[in-house]
Amino acid sequence: MKGLNKVVNTYDEALAGLANDQLLMVGGFGLCGIPEGLIDKVAESGVTGLTCISNNAGVDGFGLGKLLEKRQIKTMIGSYVGENKLFEELFLSGQMEVILTPQGTLAEKIRATGAGIPGFYTATGYGTQVAEGKETKEFNGRMYVLEEAYPKADFALVKAWKADTQGNLIFKSTARNFNSMIATAGKITVVEVEEIVEAGELDPNEIQVPGIYVNRVIKGKFEKRIEQRTVKQN
Amino acid sequence: MALSKEQIAQRIAKELKDGFYVNLGIGIPTLVANYVPNDIEIMLQSENGLLGMGEFPTEENVDADLINAGKQTVTCAKGASFFDSAESFAMIRGGHVDLTVLGAFEVDQSGNIASWMIPGKLVKGMGGAMDLVAGAENIIVAMTHANKHGVSKILKECSLPLTGVQCVKKIVSDLAVLELIDGKFHLIERAPGVSVEEIVEKTEAELVINGDIPEMTFN
């Protein structure tokens, strides 16, 4: 009996079923809280035609930047390109479809996906390109845009700090970001963690994502690269 | 003399009020944190999931899991809390943030702001800016008044893709403090040594000038 034990021991098992043209959601903000080993495995697998929902697309040569380099992503949905030169170049030259989405709308769309809510109204983006072609509606004298949830992701790739064997999750500091919503929005949710403990060892008061959303848990290795190392000048 | 980036931040810091929750955008707005007056207490919200952003860490306290929305390593201030991105934008969209300071490529006299892309040339993405301008009661734009060729960035009508409509109320530029009142910018203050004529010349938008315009002061 495997029961509620979600632990897998290899990245092959973690991403079993990964195929071309799938929809992936990937947690992280910049390089903070990204499932590094899972992303590497997607890169190594060579699957193409992916639609990727993630706030950012890594940096050149790290995180989702690796999938950009290998042209594995057909459509990128995120909020910020920033200093990622390759991302900007692929976007401006039309080599990759990019759907830029306001960060809060992105977060709420992912949350709605996991929560079974098909859409919601937000004032964000009203009167801008983001609202083009979308239904709008007035509430209490202000205009709002209808934003729809995404389909569930074929794979939701999440990074957490600790998991127990049943997939209950705890995050650390700002590495939580999009991870907790993305965990709820996958047909298969795979979580890469720093530490796995036995079920019952985590205090139920402190669990941030309950294991019901999680299908597979793997203990990963993290480089935790820092984008902008800033220190106090003494 | 036009203000330096630090001086723009220093002038904006005078707009902070005791008890404010404030979101500072990337670039000049981030510098505002360096000039918070000693006699007030504020809390900084960082939209990646931190309320209570502290100063930069010492070398030995650098933590890759603790960054701000500009992806810089930071620390927690007293009373800080962490949350996910959906919760973060519930705070922002729900109008709980008292003041948002952000940068812009262009602003116009309808209160519209453009800050996230220049078609064919540059794309940064909107990040959280569209949510911030839609959610905050109180928005200050920190920007240079004109581009390096002297062409105004404060316009009758924005030419670039918009970040938000009818949301800007105040601009602190390197030349002036402007307030938007009933569809017209009013010149409130000028940078020390900068003439009203220079500001008029570098402002394409309609500008209302009532009486003598005082020079800015700094804390």
* Interface ipTM: 0.96
Closest CA to B202 of B179, B181, B178, B175: B175
pLDDT tens digits, one per residue of A28-78 = 999 999 999 999 999 999 999 999 999 999 998 999 999 999 999 999 999
- Cross-chain Cβ contact B74/A107 below 8 Å: no
Residue A8 near residue A17 (C-beta atoms within 8 A): no
For strands B176-181 and B170-173, give the pairing.
Answer: antiparallel
Q: Does B60 touch chain A (CB under 8 A)?
A: no
| CA distance to A122, A136, A146, B111, per residue, from A139 (Å) | 10, 10, 12, 21
Q: Average pLDDT by consecutive 10-residue portion of chain B (219 residues)?
A: 95 97 93 94 97 95 96 96 98 96 97 93 91 93 95 97 96 98 96 97 97 92
B59 among known catalytic residues: no
- Measured CA to CA, the distance from residue A186 to residue A14 in angstroms comes to 14
Strand partners, A158: A191
SS3 A188: strand
pLDDT tens digits, one per residue of B72-119 = 999 999 999 999 999 999 999 999 999 999 999 999 999 999 999 998
- Measured CA to CA, the distance from residue B99 to residue B77 in angstroms comes to 18
Strand partners, A148: A119
SS3 B143: strand
Q: Which of B70, B112, B123 sits opposite A88 (nearest CB)?
A: B123
Q: Which residues on A lie below 8 Å from B86 (Cβ)? A: 107-108, 110-111, 180-181
DSSP string spanning B152-177?
BSEESS--SPPSBSS---EEEESSEE
pTM of the shown model: 0.96
pLDDT tens digits, one per residue of A178-221 = 999 999 999 999 999 999 999 999 999 999 999 999 999 999 99
Q: How far is CA B36 from its chain centroid?
A: 14
